[in-house]
Amino acid sequence: MRTITSSQNPLYKTLYATATSPRSAKKNQLVLVEGLRHVEEALCSGVHVQAVFFSDDEAGRGAYDTLKSLSIDVDHVQLPLSLFSKVSQMKTSQGVMALARPMTLTLDDFFLNHPDAERLLFLEDVQDPGNVGTLIRTADAFSFDGVVVAGSTASIWNPKTSAAAMGSLFHISIVQEEKTEAVKVLETLKAKGFMCYAAALEGINLIDSPEDKSRLSFDRVTDEILTEPCIAIMLGNEGNGLSNNALQHADSLVRIPMTGRAESLNVASAGTILLWEAYRRRCR
């Protein structure tokens, strides 16, 4: 293991830029991974790990002892606590972080690699990186095959996105189609046999309300929603939802019935419910 003591070292400057600048992270195609478990997941996932950094204290030495056998071919770097702390984003550091490159694909490459894909999450203009990371993690938790990132959706290279996604960036395929019109992406999905469900307030209720506390009429829907062989769940911008073009290309609009006084749900909360419901219906 080598030691870096200067903040002007090129590798340290890459580490610092990746942790503090989404633009630099995207340019370098690297994400910051922090914490013993998450670094271990990155090392075991098969993605490219450029370097693993350890703090020069008891926590760092303990992390090195745990991970050294998993990262034989990876650059090991020890940092003085002063340099390590400038980069660390954890309240209580575990003494280890890494620079890793998640595998991102175009939609065409995704289907070449995953010809049997059945469930996808489609994100259009979801701008908060914490929401994007949470949704990636949720899609991973419920065994979705990939996440399609379209429009002005927050970059996966944003440190806040990767922090919220935790280790899921290394478990699930990320399809980057920011430069492709959402309509073209949806047309490709539909041509592949995907039923596209768009989350929208004007949609039909996903489930019947057990009790009409708000005295609103609830639509009756069949149990077949979200059970088709191939489905894509579409989520849009936090304030405006999906674009009109995206809504027009959806096969069905769905909503989560609410009997309380909240006008709407946060996109990450709504996405979690929809992804769970798709998983539950597939498993029954």
Looking at the structure, do residues 211 and 146 belong to the same domain, yes or no? yes
Q: Tell me, yes or no, whether 188 and 125 share the same domain.
A: yes
pLDDT value at position 219?
Answer: 46
Q: Count up the domains in the chain and report the number.
A: 2
CA dist 278 and 284 (Å) reads 10
DSSP type of residue 223 = T
**In 159-243, where does DSSP find H-type helix?**
159-165, 182-191
List own/partner pairs for 60-69 with CB under 8 A and 24 or more apart.
Answer: 60/84, 60/95, 60/96, 61/95, 62/95, 63/36, 63/39, 63/94, 63/95, 63/96, 64/1, 64/96, 66/36, 66/40, 67/36, 67/39, 67/40, 67/43, 67/96
Q: Mark whether 153 and 256 lie in a shared domain.
A: yes
Q: Are residues 164 and 255 in the same domain?
A: yes
Residue 175: strand pairing partners:
105, 148
Q: Which two tokens stand for residue 148?
A: 């399609």
124 and 37, same domain (yes or no): no
Tell me the residue length of the chain.
Answer: 284
pLDDT at 186: 95
- Rounded to an integer, the average pLDDT of 226-244 is 95
* Domain of residue 194, CATH code: 3.40.1280.10
Average pLDDT on 192-213 reads 80
What CATH number should be reported for the domain holding residue 94? 3.30.1330.30
131 and 262 part of one domain: yes
**Identity of residue 217:** S
Do 249 and 260 belong to one domain? yes
Tokens of 254: 């769905």
Whole-number pLDDT of residue 176:
92
Please check whether residue 154 is in contact with residue 127, taking contact to mean a CB–CB distance below 8 angstroms.
Answer: yes
Name the pLDDT band for 222 (thresholds 50, 70, 90): low
Encoded amino acid at 32, one letter: L
Q: Average pLDDT for residues 166-191, to the nearest whole number?
A: 92
Confidence band for 217, pLDDT divided at 50, 70 and 90: very low
Under the banding of pLDDT at 50, 70 and 90, the label for residue 201 is confident
pLDDT of residue 161: 93
Reply yes or no on whether the pLDDT at 220 is more than 50: no
Phi-psi region of 166 (alpha: psi -120 to 50; beta: other; left: phi over 0): left
Q: Looking at 70, 101, 132, which one is the last position of a domain?
A: 101
The larger pLDDT score, comparing residue 22 to residue 276, is at 276
Give yes or no: residues 146 and 128 share one domain. yes
Same domain, yes or no: 180 and 253: yes
**84 and 116, same domain (yes or no):** no
Q: Which two tokens stand for residue 266?
A: 């946060």
User: Do 255 and 241 share a domain, yes or no?
Assistant: yes
Question: Is 50 exceeded by the pLDDT of residue 28?
Answer: yes
Looking at the structure, tell me whether residues 94 and 131 fall in a common domain: no
Q: For 142-158, how does the pLDDT look when each residue is reduced to its tens digit (9 = 90+)?
A: 999 999 999 999 999 99
Domain boundary, last residue among 101, 118, 137? 101
Q: What is the mean pLDDT of the chain?
A: 91
Cβ atoms 2, 29 nearer than 8 A: no
- Pairing state between β 231-235 and 119-124: parallel
Which of 101, 120, 143 represents a domain boundary (last residue)? 101
Q: Dihedral through CA 28, CA 162, CA 190, CA 182, nearest 10?
A: -60
* pLDDT for 49 beyond 70: yes
Q: Which domain holds residue 74?
A: 2-101
For residue 211, what pLDDT band results from cuts at 50, 70 and 90?
Answer: low
| 214 has pLDDT over 60 | no
**Lowest mean pLDDT, pick from 23-37, 120-134, 135-149:** 23-37
Q: Which two tokens stand for residue 201?
A: 């307030």
Is the CB of residue 219 less than 8 Å from the CB of residue 168? no
Q: Which of the residue ranges 10-14, 95-99, 174-178, 186-190 would you say has the lowest mean pLDDT?
A: 174-178
